[in-house]
Chains A and B, each alone.
Chain A
Amino acid sequence: MDLTLKVWRQAGPGTEGRIETYDVPGISEEMSFLEMLDVLNDRLIVEGREPIAFEHDCREGICGSCGMMINGQAHGPQKGTATCQLHMRKFSDGDTIVVEPWRATAFPIVKDLVVNRSTFDEIIAAGGYISVTTGAAQEANLTLVPKAVADTAMDAAQCIGCGACVAACPNSAAQLFTSAKLAHLNLLPQGQPERWDRTVRMVGVMEQYFGSCTNHGECHEACPKEISLDFIAYMNRDYRKAIVKNRSLIAQP
């Protein structure tokens, strides 16, 4: 099929960017969206022009690096799918597709479609870990985790940190990301010792860079892992308990 692509081109951070239009003929519907961009880039290189910079790594929907805004939707039109797993059969011959990088103050553009998501790393660094004592590993079966808890923690741990939640949010809020990262540790026994401090610290860093949640629910729709809005409520609950009940000081579960 033949497509027209309108892509955001920007030479570097802080420089002026603009939308450029490219004709992309002869695309197979079996290609992924990234393969379609590869085809275009091959041609641009042959023509001696600058290829479009975009981030990608695993191309199997697990690394979270391939995020881009496709026709106003984060990761494009297919629900629960990262850009690399999006196939061209979701588009039709003659379509015009607009591709833009994530846009948020917290995600400055590096080049073309590549943004700097290190503010996510800062949120993780603030508490997205557990502390364990070194030495011989303890018997694994000593720490029991109920099946339902393990499942919910796993649902949260599916977050690949792609940033689609921020990109899709009209407030550029990072609530879905932060709450998923919190929930997957806060639900498990290993995460309990630092639960309240972790919540306060990670929310604190999140609020330095990102907007505030108004419960639109766009983040969940955009999320390639379909992370539930419930985690945002759990985060709000844990933060409230941590501060109002002073849980980190009086040590009550």
Chain B
Amino acid sequence: MATTTRPAAAELATTKRKRPWFIELYGTALGKKYVMAITGIIGMLFIVGHMVGNLKLYLGGDHLDVYGEWLRTIGEPALPRTVFLWLLRGLLITAVVLHIHAAWSLTRLNHRADIKYTNRRDFIAANFASRTMRWTGILVGLFIVFHLADLTWGAANGDFIRGAVRHNMVHSFRRPPVAITYVVANVALGIHLWHGAWSLFQSMGWNNPRFNQWRSWFAWAFAGAIVLGNISFPILIVTHAVTY
């Protein structure tokens, strides 16, 4: 005679206390890779917007300042001033924190799993970008802190006037060491993006013979456009091609 047994009370209790699925997912390595990819995409969207916005420097006059002011007023009058901007900042900060935390814990997992060879591995496919993601990532992270101190908080600027975007930018980039820092950091960012922009497709499982070739073309184009756009600002300012 068939009997059914009820699950023991202890079993029921543990199933009840199961964490929400997205927390469970973040607990797995594959889940963290999705988070790396998605937060990476958020960062990439921001980087494009940031660069395009800054290109207004080349329109001359107060175009850049007007744009900066507009960013604070998006959503008015439905939202009070700067609320939308702060929501955006909140999203970005969350993305950066998650990106760093996932990278840190995946790195620890990988170091635990790997044992070094006496005779070093001879790399065939792994390139400079893929092997230095951790270092370019740290470099970009440090740069972001400096960049905020320079052009958002003003502490590292010397002659910072809140809201005078063009003035602050020209004043800062006229200092050659600062201009060099920006160029170096953006090259590191470009290397990081080049691997990341391809890698995220694999991590998310976006793979189809239709567009597989486009994935690496996209990575080249994206990283190239960002680096060229971003390093043009310090270079043209430090050489006095662009002035106040």
Contact = CB atoms under 8 A, between A and B. Distances in A.
A239 B30 contact: yes
A207 B145 CA distance: 34
Given A217-B125, A236-B33, A239-B30, A103 B116 contact: yes
B120 interface: yes
Contacts of B79: none
Interface of A: 6, 8, 19, 69, 71-73, 98, 100, 103-106, 168-173, 203-204, 207, 209-218, 220-222, 229-230, 232-240, 243-244, 246
Interface of B: 21, 24-25, 28-34, 106, 109-110, 112-126, 130-131, 133, 195, 198-199, 201-207, 212
A100 B198 contact: no
A8 B106 CA distance: 30
Query: Considering residues B24, B116, B130, B195, which has the most beta carbons from chain A within 10 angstroms of its beta carbon?
Result: B130
B38 to A, nearest CB: 11
Chain B interface helix/strand/loop/mixed = helix
14 contacts: A71-B119, A72-B121, A103-B117, A171-B113, A212-B32, A212-B106, A213-B203, A214-B199, A216-B131, A218-B121, A236-B202, A236-B205, A237-B205, A244-B21
Nearest to A171: B110
Contact of B203 (A210, A211, A215, A230): A215
Nearest to B21: A243
Contacts of A19: 118
Contacts of A72: 117, 119-122
Contacts, number: 138
Query: Considering residues A104, A213, A222, which has the most beta carbons from chain B within 10 angstroms of its beta carbon?
Result: A213
A183 B116 CA distance: 30
A75 B110 CA distance: 22
B118 A100 contact: yes
B110 A233 contact: no
B24 to A, nearest CB: 8
Nearest to A230: B207
B205 A240 contact: yes
B110 A104 contact: no
Contacts of A100: 117-119
B20 to A, nearest CB: 12
